[in-house]
């Protein structure tokens, strides 16, 4: 019978990749510092994601073993919360809110324009690793719909015509 790790690999279809050795010690520290705390899983996942920028499968395996939480539970939490990502993200993570208020006010058109400008689909990252595009659930700014988030910054009442300038400004910031 496959152990829980093998099962998760089959389920996700993601290929495990080696961890950056420079970060492994920090990950071990994060796990150790939370080990005795009840409900440690979510805070550890948060800190691990800050460290790596996302949650690669080997990191989930370390967390599972370190906290003695089954891989199926770790994976279930990561996939439940949209703030966690199993995939690498761009320097600028753009999330378009697809909640009801934003949807009825044109979120889909914003998303379509971003797809055209960035040449990627939701869930993907540009080849220069500058941008990634995602959809998200309501971000609690319904009065300002349609809204999107760039990293942690909310951009409210957005219009399709503003998408090109938003991306151009971020590229200019990076000298591109």
Positions in the binding site for ligand FES (CB under 6 A): 97, 99-102, 138-142, 145, 147
Spatial distance between the Cα atoms of 16 and 56, rounded to a whole number of angstroms: 7
Q: Is 97 exposed, middle or buried (0-12, 13-18, 19+ CB in 10 A)?
A: buried
What residue spans of the chain are helical by DSSP H?
A: 4-12, 21-34, 41-52, 57-67, 71-80, 100-104, 107-118, 162-173
- The answer to whether 136 and 95 have CB atoms below 8 angstroms apart is yes
Indicate the residue among 64 and 135 with the shorter CB distance to ligand FES: 135
Shortest Å distance, C-beta 173 to ligand FES: 25
Reduce the DSSP state of residue 151 to 3 states and report it: coil
Q: How far is the CB of 155 from ligand FES (least distance, A)?
A: 11
**Shortest Cβ contact with ligand FES: which residue?**
99
Least Å from the CB of residue 131 to ligand FES = 20
Kindly tell me which of 61 and 134 has the beta carbon lying closer to ligand FES. 134
Strand partners, 81: none
Closer to ligand FES by CB, 77 or 138: give it. 138
Closer residue to ligand FES (CB): 48 or 97: 97
Give me the least distance between CB of 146 and ligand FES, in Å please. Answer: 7
Matching residue, tokens 């279930």: 76
Q: How far is the CB of 140 from ligand FES (least distance, A)?
A: 6
CA distances (Å), 92 to each of 35, 77, 119, in order?
32, 24, 15
- Decide whether 40 or 102 has the Cβ nearer to ligand FES: 102
- C-alpha of 169 from chain center: 22
């Amino acid at each position: 019978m496959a152990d829980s790790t093998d099962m998760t690999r089959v389920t996700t279809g993601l290929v495990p990749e080696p961890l950056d050795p420079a970060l492994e010690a920090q990950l071990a520290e994060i796990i150790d510092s939370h080990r005795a705390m009840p409900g440690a899983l979510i805070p550890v996942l948060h800190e691990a994601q800050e460290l790596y920028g996302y949650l690669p499968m080997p990191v989930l395996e370390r967390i599972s073993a370190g906290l003695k939480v089954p891989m199926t539970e770790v994976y279930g939490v990561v996939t439940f919360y949209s703030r966690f990502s199993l995939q690498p993200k761009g320097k600028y993570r753009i999330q378009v809110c697809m909640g009801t208020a934003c949807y009825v006010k044109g979120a889909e058109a914003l998303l379509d324009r971003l797809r055209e400008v960035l040449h990627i689909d939701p869930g993907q990252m540009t080849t220069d690793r500058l941008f990634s595009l995602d959809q998200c659930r309501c971000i609690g700014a319904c009065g300002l719909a349609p809204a999107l988030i760039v990293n942690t910054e909310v951009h409210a009442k957005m219009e399709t015509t503003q998408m090109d300038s938003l991306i151009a400004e971020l590229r200019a910031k990076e000298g591109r």
